[in-house]
Copies of this chain bind each other. A is one copy, B any other.
Amino acid sequence: MRISELSEASGVPVATLKYYLREGLLPPGESLGATRADYSEDHLRRVRLVRALVDAGVSVAEARRVTEALDDPPRSRHDLLGRAQYALPAPHAATPVSDEVTGLLADLGWVVGPDSPALHSLSGAIAAARSAGVPLPTDALTGYARASEAVAAVDVSNVPTDDLASALHRVVAGTVLVDPVLAALRRLAQEHVSSRG
């Protein structure tokens, strides 16, 4: 399809598509001459992902890191989640991993690589919450972790098994874009649980 058709199919203006192309968020189309190019269904899928990432508050630089990871498909299913983890935006990257987080994971019996960016994110997020007066005792963190296992089980069971490139796309998009779904469900569940109490 032409860039005008890609715009119509995605709902993203042509000027924005040209910006994505310049910024490397969207690979170039197949050239049909000096000023024309042909775009595929893969381009449409990529545009929708980039748009959703940006709408979810991911910066252009972070979105580029995510799409670069997608352009280099994983070699194995085992490589898949690692690749996605390390491509995704990770807040508090500069926060050292706390002994508390290391101990929590050991108590949970979780097998996680020592370089996982989420170890820093978790350490930093716990410190930020406590500094604002949210105490987060060990039993609360353990309760949240067990609930997160149930979330991750749903995540992992919904990764497609057909091809690795599709699976990586799904994991990356699903991780970033399901966070707001979970945040909304948590607020509704709070209202429900407190109405029962």
Contact = CB atoms under 8 A, between A and B. Distances in A.
B133 A49 contact: yes
Contact of A187 (B49, B116, B146, B177): B116
Interface in A119-162: 119, 121-122, 125-126, 128-129, 131-137, 140-141, 143-158
**In the assembly, how many copies of this chain are there?**
2
Taking chain A's interface residues, is the majority helix, strand, or loop, or is none over half, making it mixed?
Answer: helix
B151 A144 contact: yes
Interface in A4-50: 45, 48-49
Interface size on A, as a range, is: 35 or more
A96 interface: no
Contacts of A186: 148, 151-152, 155, 175, 179, 182
A23 to B, nearest CB: 18
A39 B51 CA distance: 45
Interface in A48-85: 48-49, 51-53, 55-57, 78, 80-82, 85
A41 to B, nearest CB: 11
B125 A181 contact: yes
B128 A191 contact: no
16 contacts: A53-B132, A78-B195, A80-B194, A81-B190, A85-B187, A110-B188, A116-B191, A119-B188, A129-B180, A133-B173, A134-B173, A144-B185, A147-B151, A152-B194, A156-B197, A171-B190
